[in-house]
DNA sequence: GTCTATAATTCGATAGAC
DNA sequence: GTCTATCGAATTATAGAC
């Protein structure tokens, strides 16, 4: 960091406020003035510490999905374990900011979309390759997995589509579908 | 309509330009000036015909999924038929504007999110109820169906997550998953 | 019906006093 | 390190000439 220890509280306060605002309203609807007001500081301080609004966004977006190691997991338990992990993640404060902050902005902010692609390539694809034993269509299965996961975040937390089921019910249906996506057939027949 | 026939071309030109812009950049990144420039008119005309930016958005967003009638369809063909329908819809110019225009804005614009909920309630739920013979968990299945469909639009057309598969491959995997969501088990076991 | 001109805000970002 | 003051640009929206 290029700043002294004395300003640490201010910098962290700005970052925390920024994460909340970006999570809630996305990139475009979040203003530097809002963030500064939340942090109890002057807007010029935000620029001083993070250079620009884009710089602030980059600093606020640091997504680690904290994916579990699936090395020794039996193949038919993958769906349940991952479903449990993601729902736990989303229902925590950390997870809410971690994924919503990106998804809320990605639809209209190119830099955020690029960041999602990076998370997918660096975190999801390696997981699926390891989980499936690196089958030929692992990348396609990873994409389908991400499709349903991001779709769930979108429908449940952003669009708030009815019916809103409880977390355990969500885990159950998610586990079934993720299991199918990871180890089931992806062409014709089979219910 | 409250305006004369003489301005019809202008009004339609504005609306067409607005749909393209809202589709491409979402609500926040689209300005009345852009729309007016595309339509070859003055920005004040946009206000005159549509009242405000929100009024223009409302006029531009009129989503009809054109869902097929599934009354006589054999249950085990539902997935394939719906998958084919949606991919054909998305790959057409009409479909691109129909769904992208909403989804691009829904993540950060509350009014757009509300519109998506309406489309879900009025079009998707009735379809799934009819398709499944109105089973007890039809609404949950409708939500899961929407989750995967919106996830697909998000990942494929907005985030452009790799790998980008061709339309036929997309239909195949989509058909399998939609079939499972509509008629498969949603709890435990079964691959 | 269309455009010019402009009002009224709001934004991101900068300069400089303390 | 923090804040006051402000610039310059962009936005939505309006008033009125033609």
* pLDDT value of residue B190: 42
> Does the C-beta of A85 come within 7 A of strand C?
no
* pLDDT value of residue A89: 96
Q: How far apart are CA B90 and CA B7, in angstroms?
A: 31
Q: How far apart are CA A177 and CA B153, in angstroms?
A: 18
Backbone φ and ψ for A110, nearest 5 degrees, come out as -55, -40
Q: Using an 8 Å CB-CB cutoff, list chain A residues near B151.
A: 146-152, 154
Q: Which of A159, A163, A185 sits opposite B113 (nearest CB)?
A: A159
Please give the structure tokens belonging to residue A136: 């030929």
* pLDDT value of residue A2: 80
Q: How far apart are CA B50 and CA B33, in angstroms?
A: 14
The predicted-structure confidence for A89-118, as pLDDT tens digits, reads as follows 999 988 888 889 999 999 999 999 999 999
Other C-beta atoms closer than 10 Å to the C-beta of A16 total 15
* pLDDT value of residue B189: 53
* pLDDT value of residue B1: 62
Nucleotides in chain D near protein beta carbons (<7 Å):
1-5, 10-16
Q: What is the DSSP letter of A41?
A: S
Q: How far apart are CA A33 and CA A44, in angstroms?
A: 9
The predicted-structure confidence for B136-147, as pLDDT tens digits, reads as follows 999 999 999 999
Q: Which of B76, B108, B151 sits opposite A28 (nearest CB)?
A: B108
Q: Which of A27, A144, A157, A172 to probe by mutation at the B interface, max B CB count within 10 Å?
A: A144
* pLDDT value of residue B54: 97
* pLDDT value of residue B89: 95
Q: How far apart are CA B149 and CA B174, in angstroms?
A: 9
| Entry field: residues in chain B | 191
* pLDDT value of residue A96: 86
Overall average pLDDT of the B8-14 stretch: 97
Please give the structure tokens belonging to residue A36: 């500064």
Taking a C-beta distance cutoff of 8 angstroms, is the pair A92, A176 a contact?
A: no
Task: Name B175's Cβ contacts closer than 8 Å, sequence gap at least 6.
Answer: A188, B79, B80, B82, B83, B84
Q: Using an 8 Å CB-CB cutoff, list chain B residues near A191.
A: 76, 179-180, 183-184
* pLDDT value of residue A98: 85
Topology (CATH) of A5-60: Arc Repressor Mutant, subunit A (1.10.10)
Q: Which of A153, A24, A136 is nearest to A89 (CA)?
A: A153
Per-residue confidence in pLDDT tens, chain A, 191 aa: 689 999 999 999 999 999 999 999 999 999 999 999 999 999 999 999 999 999 999 999 988 999 999 999 999 999 999 999 999 999 998 888 888 999 999 999 999 999 999 999 999 999 999 999 999 999 999 999 999 999 999 999 999 999 999 999 999 999 999 999 999 999 875 44
High-pLDDT (> 90) share of chain B, %: 92
Q: Where are the domains of chain A?
A: 5-60, 75-183
């Amino acid at each position: 960091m290029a700043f002294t220890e004395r300003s640490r509280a201010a910098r962290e306060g700005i970052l925390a406020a920024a994460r909340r605002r970006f999570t809630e309203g996305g990139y475009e609807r979040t203003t530097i003035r809002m963030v500064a007001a939340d942090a109890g500081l002057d807007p010029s301080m935000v620029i001083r510490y993070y250079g620009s609004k884009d710089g602030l966004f980059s600093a606020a977006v640091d997504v680690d999905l904290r994916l579990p190691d699936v090395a020794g997991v039996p193949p038919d338990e993958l769906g349940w374990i991952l479903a449990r992990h993601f729902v736990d993640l989303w229902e925590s404060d950390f997870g809410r900011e971690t994924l919503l902050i990106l998804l809320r902005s990605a639809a209209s902010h190119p830099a955020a979309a690029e960041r999602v692609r990076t998370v997918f390539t660096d975190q999801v694809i390696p997981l699926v390759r390891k989980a499936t034993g690196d089958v030929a269509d692992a990348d396609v299965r990873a994409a389908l997995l991400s499709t349903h996961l991001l779709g769930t975040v979108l429908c449940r937390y952003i669009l708030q589509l009815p019916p809103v089921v409880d977390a355990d019910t969500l885990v159950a249906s998610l586990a079934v579908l993720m299991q199918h996506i990871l180890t089931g057939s992806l062409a014709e027949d089979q219910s």
